[in-house]
Chains A and B, each alone.
Chain A
Amino acid sequence: MKNLHLLLNPLNDENPITVQVLGICSALAVTVQMKPAIVMALSVTVVTAFSNLIISLGRNTIPPRIRIIIQLVVVAFLVIVVDQILKAYVYDVSKKLSVFVGLIITNCILMGRLEAFAMSNKPVESFLDGIGNGAGYGLILITLSFIRELFGSGSVLGYQLVPQSFYDHGYSDNGMMILPPMALITVGIIIWIQRGYNRKLIEK
């Protein structure tokens, strides 16, 4: 029951982006199109889960004074491994993500979860917490990229969705949607809708 809670809680009540307000920067950068957003979400989930697991396994041996450095070394190691594997086996996807995979190292969710959870919890729980938070991040990324790609480019996952007849009648793609400021506004709208449904998130 507690384990299920660890997996599902970050999707809504403790969502890393909309509630904890972490990982915003990468959410703005990679959500212009859906495909890179999905691979980014998967990569972050893998790195969060395994770095949580490794740090949790060693949590009683890590010297407190250099704990942040040790966490960074573990995260950097995993990110480089993920990047190398993508380059060797799914070359076309790795090219689409280019610099963004390397930027996972600076993702606030990772350090946040390592400090707040993995340093004081058992390995299995930490692993599930990592998967949950990665999924919560991915959920927002995919929603955001869906909205941005649909209104910004008229397509979803690269497939043209807005019919040509719309364009013939004067419809045009919203160029603002492609730019980062609109991503921030869209995140704001998602937060607004989420709090409209989930009243306990509203601060008194």
Chain B
Amino acid sequence: MNIQSNTYTYIYSTVIVLIVATGLAVVASALKPAQNKNVEIEKKQNILTSLHVVSDAGNAEKLYSEFITDSYTLNSKGEKVTGVDPFTINLRAEMKKKPSARNLPAFEAKKGDSTFVVIPVYGKGLWGPIWGYVSFRKEAQVQEGIPHYNTIYGVMFDHKGETPGLGAEINQPFFQNHFNGKKVFNDQGKFVSVQVVKGGADPSSPYQVDAISGGTITSKGLQAMLDSCLVTYQNYFKSNN
């Protein structure tokens, strides 16, 4: 057999491609269920993390059913939408729609005597998407005109490919803990979101947190993400008085 000939080269490359393609298809479909399960468990763990519930891959599902009491899909007017599973909503696709046309997932939780709502957020970092969950504690007593869901109880952020040691630090507790207790509505009941400030946030301000040094673009992306995602929920927050 002449391995230099054209015919041999064509047949050889065709056979190799067929073998590799079949192999990859088999591997991918065999591992798909395990991968999907991992993604689902991770999502539940993320929701729990934003509620300051520590979980691992083993107990995430049990804890999730223990703490999460209800989940629903909202529209931008704050009304519940039926027929859309909030757990499987693709936020990336929703963010491409007009704010008024988006399906907004919300997860209600109970921890001790307090009621919480967990809101998923999705935005752009420096190198790729960033996302997270923000949990709000329902306050029993509030001033007139200020929603019950105003104070952030906890947050969880993650990213696809931010710079390790710099922007990637948004998934670290030291950064996320800054958000605890911050507010998204000001004293007049106007939506202001949380600002991620470069070069030192005012510690007494309930609306500012420190940016990550060296991660300016990621920090700005995070601020834009919080603003653009949470603003669509303001009618829901206000209607909960």
In the complex, which residues of chain A have a beta carbon less than 8 angstroms from the beta carbon of B3? 61-64
Q: B93 contacts the other chain (Cβ, under 8 Å)? A: no
Other contacts beyond A64-B4, A98-B161, A175-B214: 6, CB < 8 A: A61-B3, A62-B3, A73-B16, A88-B34, A89-B34, A98-B160
- Which of B24-32, B72-80, B147-155 binds A? B24-32
Contact flag A33-B12 (CB < 8 Å), given A81-B24, A87-B31: no
Name the prevailing secondary structure of the A interface residues. helix
Q: A1 contacts the other chain (Cβ, under 8 Å)? A: no
Residues in B18-68 with C-beta less than 8 Å from chain A: 20, 23-24, 27-28, 31, 34-35, 38, 42, 57
In the complex, which residues of chain A have a beta carbon less than 8 angstroms from the beta carbon of B57? 91-92
Minimal Cβ-Cβ distance residue in A for B164:
A32
Residue from A63, A85, A89, A98 in contact with B12 in the complex, judged by beta carbons closer than 8 Å:
A63
Beta-carbon contact of B13 and A66 below 8 Å:
yes
Beta-carbon contact of A66 and B164 below 8 Å:
no
* Whole-angstrom distance between the Cβ of A123 and the nearest chain B Cβ: 18
Beta-carbon contact of B35 and A88 below 8 Å:
yes
In the complex, which residues of chain B have a beta carbon less than 8 angstroms from the beta carbon of A36? 164
Residue from B27, B166, B214 in contact with A81 in the complex, judged by beta carbons closer than 8 Å:
B27
- What's the Cα separation between A63 and B5 when bound, in Å? 8
Count of chain B residues with a beta carbon within 8 Å of a chain A beta carbon: 26
Query: Can you show 14 pairs from A to B with CB atoms below 8 A apart?
Result: A32-B165, A62-B12, A63-B3, A63-B8, A64-B4, A65-B9, A74-B20, A76-B20, A81-B24, A85-B27, A91-B42, A98-B160, A98-B161, A175-B213
* Whole-angstrom distance between the Cβ of A178 and the nearest chain B Cβ: 4
Q: A77 contacts the other chain (Cβ, under 8 Å)? A: yes
Name the prevailing secondary structure of the B interface residues. helix
Pick from A62, A66, A98 the residue with the most CB of B within 10 Å.
A98
One digit per residue, 1 when the CB lies within 8 angstroms of any chain B CB and 0 when it does not, for chain A 150-194 equals: 001100000000000000000000010010000000000000000
Minimal Cβ-Cβ distance residue in B for A87:
B35
Which A residues have a C-beta under 8 Å from some C-beta of B? 32-33, 36, 61-66, 69-70, 73-74, 76-77, 80-81, 84-85, 87-89, 91-92, 98-99, 152-153, 175, 178
Contact flag A99-B165 (CB < 8 Å), given A69-B13, A91-B42, A91-B57: no
Contact flag A73-B20 (CB < 8 Å), given A63-B4, A87-B35: yes
Beta-carbon contact of B12 and A61 below 8 Å:
yes
* Whole-angstrom distance between the Cβ of A4 and the nearest chain B Cβ: 33
Q: B17 contacts the other chain (Cβ, under 8 Å)? A: yes
* Whole-angstrom distance between the Cβ of B231 and the nearest chain A Cβ: 29
One digit per residue, 1 when the CB lies within 8 angstroms of any chain A CB and 0 when it does not, for chain B 68-91 equals: 000000000000000000000000
Beta-carbon contact of B12 and A77 below 8 Å:
no
Pick from B24, B28, B38 the residue with the most CB of A within 10 Å.
B38
- What's the Cα separation between A154 and B28 when bound, in Å? 40
- What's the Cα separation between A86 and B8 when bound, in Å? 36
